[in-house]
Structure 1
Amino acid sequence: MMGGVTQLRRIVAGLVPVIALFAGTAPAHADLKLCNRMSYVIEAAIGIDDKSATATRGWFRIDPAACRVVLQGTLTADRILLNARALGVYGTSPLPQNGSDTLCVASDNFVIAAARQCRTGQTPAPFTQINPTRADDGNLVAYLAEDSEYDDDQARLAGIQRLLVIAGFDASPIDGVDGPKTQAALAAFLKSRGLAPDFAQSPNFFTTMVEAVQAPSSAGLTWCNDTPHKVMAAVGTDDGKTVVSRGWYRIEPGKCLHPDVTGQPRRLFSFAEAVDAENRTIRFKDKPLNWGGDSQLCTRESKFEINEQSECGNRGFSTTGFAAVDMSSGGKTLRFAMPR
């Protein structure tokens, strides 16, 4: 990759979410469901470890404050394991990806019968063992939570606030607490989409919000991926005093994404590159397929937010060429396309 750039994951908005799996002992005689008490729309994959065989299945999309059944019927497996990721609209996954087991997953919906030996189109991912508890309805349940320890109502509101901010509506801070600022941002978003005020209570509301932040916008910076490859991007902001570089953001093929730029920076910078399933830079005509420029900013392979841009190499960072973005018209869409 250019400048040694690869991508792992990124902490979003200063929050360090964790998967909280409320352990306990319960007989495995019911459906298993996952409940999301995070402020992110997540996708989950499960691993089923039964004696000498291990299978994986995913992805199960779960909105904030929602639950989803991921296994039905009597559970006879020796162990149940979990991997979870946030949607690409949040940048890279804010979930800490670690676990004692490495199992195979695929980029799209999948069922893998022998999940310890990855084949073409499959990649290894860390899975964590979970110990679900029995819920009041008789099902087994495992909760995904973050450090803020939201309840369901708070998780849903924080999830709405987070997507409003990404879409360019000021609903900060993202804290799950309702107030005039959040309500004003929500009303402005609904009006911009021609939606009724009560649409926010619709079960499809998060889907609508995710689609909104994956479409070009007339305000702020928008990245659009017109290639058949996954694109990883980083943004730089200059407020006149400090230049901050931040990444990585994952942009799926055919999708757009708005980096979460707050305030009114004087200048913006952008760098992006196409990567394969193993996060290796795609090469086109023997050159890295990337989109940058002459402004040298600091980056690193994993998630980063760097406030000082001098002597990148001496501080253990890579130096990467970003392009300056002309924001004089109030909004700018950068489209990443295959070279002719």
Structure 2
Amino acid sequence: MKQAITPATIGLGLFLASALPASADFRLCNNTASRTSISLAYTDGEIWVSEGWWNLKPGACETLVRGPLAAEFYYVYAMDERGGEWKGKAFMCTRDREFRILGREDCYVRGFDRTGFFEVDTGKEAKNWTVQLTDPAPQKPTP
């Protein structure tokens, strides 16, 4: 199953595809030309958790959640070393160094940053999923 999504943020492309049926994980692959830092957020229905950072070299993949998916929606924020970012409108708490933060409320009051994550809808029945970050398509000059 494949689903195309293009964040309006910086015009960086995003392509989502479900992983091979043999695995049962939430994975992210960095198909860009730059090292990329990744953070992930999810809920168990009661408590929100945001965590990061996974640093992926170009062409590398990482398992962010091991085992069958427990949620339908996951949230991702990524930034590359050239200043590009993949973000959205679902705000979660983050910080500059490695983190695991419970809750998404009052980020600033609790001493964290507030960062916009993009939503990944894995569907109600998915047991595994892979997000593939890609560089933006070249822009055609306007006449």
TM-score of the pair, normalised by structure 2: 0.73
Q: Which runs of 4+ in 1 moved over 4 A?
A: none
Of residues 83, 87, 101, the one that matches 1:112 is 101
CA contact (8 A) 2:77 2:85 kept: no
Structure holding more helix per residue: 1
Instruction: Return the index of the structure with the highest Cα Rg.
Output: 1
Cα deviation code 1:229-288 (max 9, x no counterpart): xxxxxxxxxxxxxxxxxxxxxxxxxxxxxxxxxxxxxxxxxxxxxxxxxxxxxxxxxxxx
Q: Aligned residue for 2:59? A: 65
CA distance in 1, matches of 2:13, 2:51: 18
Q: Aligned residue for 2:92? A: 103
* C-alpha spacing 1:37/1:76, structure 2 compared with 1 (3 Å): same
Matched pairs, number: 124
CA distance in 1, matches of 2:15, 2:76: 10
Pairing 1:301-316 to 2, within 5 Å after superposition: none
Q: Aligned residue for 2:135? A: 146
Please, what is the CA RMSD of the aligned residues? 2.9
Of residues 24, 34, 51, the one that matches 1:30 is 24
Q: Aligned letter for 2:74? A: I
Q: Aligned residue for 1:173? A: none
CA distance in 2, matches of 1:55, 1:73: 17
Identical counterparts, % of pairs: 21
CA contact (8 A) 1:131 1:142 kept: no
Q: Aligned residue for 2:75? A: 81
Cα deviation code 1:168-201 (max 9, x no counterpart): xxxxxxxxxxxxxxxxxxxxxxxxxxxxxxxxxx
CA contact (8 A) 2:72 2:122 kept: no
Q: What are the ranges of 5 or more consecutive residues in structure 2 without an aligned counterpart?
A: 1-9, 139-143
Report the CA distance between 1:121 and its aligned residue.
Answer: 3.1
CA contact (8 A) 2:36 2:80 kept: yes
Structure holding more strand per residue: 2
Q: Aligned letter for 2:76? A: L
CA distance in 1, matches of 2:59, 2:32: 7
Q: Aligned letter for 2:26? A: L
Q: What are the ranges of 5 or more consecutive residues in structure 1 without an aligned counterpart?
A: 1-15, 150-340
* C-alpha spacing 1:30/1:116, structure 2 compared with 1 (3 Å): farther
Could you say what secondary structure the match of 1:141 adopts? strand
